[in-house]
Amino acid sequence: MTSPYETIEVRPVGGALGAEIHGVDLSLDLPDRQFSEIREVFRDNGVIFFRDQKLTPEQHIAFAERWAPININRFFTHVEGHPKIALVLKEPDQKRNIGGGWHTDHTYDIEPAMGSILYAHEVPQSGGDTMFASMYAAYETLSDGLKQTLNGLRARHSSRHIFGPARAGRKDDTVGRIKNPELANQDAVHPVVITHPLSGRKSLYVNPSFTLGFEGWTDVESKPLLDYLYAHASQPSFTCQFQWQPGSIAFWDNRATWHLAVNDYQGQRRLMHRITVAGTALH
């Protein structure tokens, strides 16, 4: 089969989502044609991966800003001298990782980040993969009846229970890596099913980390249906898993995926730089 792309090589990663893009040097100012082909792969695959990249923080920022302005994460510590780049770090003596449960970044914001660009600096000898799940697949495989019910619902999302004072009070070893608990003071309401602004496809937009419940329902009333949706959405056939090397980059679409950082590398260091790219209100 001939490739639809002229300037890049694309290799699918999972059946439901994910594609590796080869033949690109992200440290350069990409020609418009190549950038638009990368945008198409991003739109169609939910998460795209690059290998063997060598980016300075400035080049990482320039690539991100080609997509949209940067949405600075207010809870992560940042790379020294670069407030736009969040540090995703786990030291050998730390037990907890960041992002170790299924989630979508920034759903607690009124205008959630559209995507996140994670760049690997140091990775464990084995383990430390990131998993992704397709929220297109999750939605599209529901029954017509449940789709209809969900299409009429909105859900409440919050950062309070994850980044707020209660977490800071726990004094686990994420202290020092997560900051500003006082800024975890804003909740957001989004449709449970969104229409993706680039692809036009419908996507399930609730996640186990930040969604509290449905609008107009109590958390207790919401839980059984949310639990059903979470079990459905995380089934292996809707996921892919990415094995990092130094220089690898993953760019995931927060409107179409969940992700989870696997915490299976105790005693080893993992150091990543993450930039979140701004999105718009969701419909």
Residues annotated catalytic, as ranges: 103, 105, 259, 274
CB atoms inside a 10 Å sphere around CB 68: 15
Residue nearer to ligand SIN on the CB measure, 121 or 156: 121
Give the nearer residue to ligand SIN in terms of CB position, either 123 or 155. Answer: 123
HEC sequence for 136-158: HHHHHCCCHHHHHHHHCCEEEEE
In the chain, the DSSP E strands lie at 9-12, 19-22, 47-50, 78-79, 82-90, 115-122, 130-134, 154-158, 187-191, 193-195, 202-204, 211-214, 239-242, 249-253, 257-261, 270-277
Closer to ligand SIN by Cβ: residue 85 or 88: 88
Q: Structure tokens of 74?
A: 């207010």
C-alpha dihedral sign at 143, 14, 278, 262: positive
Going edge to edge, which strands form the sheet with 154-158? 187-191, 154-158, 211-214
Q: Closer to ligand SIN by CB, 118 or 233: give it.
A: 118
Look up tokens 């969604």; give the residue: 211
Q: With contact defined as beta carbons under 8 Å apart, do 98 and 173 qualify?
A: no
- Judged by the rule CB under 6 A, the positions of this chain that interact with ligand SIN are 88, 98-99, 105, 116, 118, 130, 259, 261, 272, 274
The two three-digit tokens of residue 40, written as one number: 């198409």
Instruction: Measure the CA angle with vertex 173, ends 171 and 174; round to 5°.
Output: 90
Cβ of residue 130: shortest distance to ligand SIN, in angstroms? Answer: 4
Q: Is the CB of 34 or the CB of 97 nearer to ligand SIN?
A: 97
Q: Which is nearer to ligand SIN, 105 or 253 (CB)?
A: 105
- Assess contact for 21 and 8: CB atoms under 8 A: yes
Backbone angles phi, psi at 76, to 5 degrees: -90, 145
Least CB distance to ligand SIN at residue 127 (A): 11
Residue 153 CB, shortest distance to ligand SIN, in Å, is 26
Instruction: Phi first, then psi: give them for residue 38, nearest 5 degrees.
Output: -60, -40
Q: How far is the CB of 270 from ligand SIN (least distance, A)?
A: 7
* In the complex, residue closest to ligand SIN by CB: 99
Q: Nearest distance from residue 259's CB to ligand SIN, in Å?
A: 6
Least distance in Å: CB of 261 to ligand SIN? 3
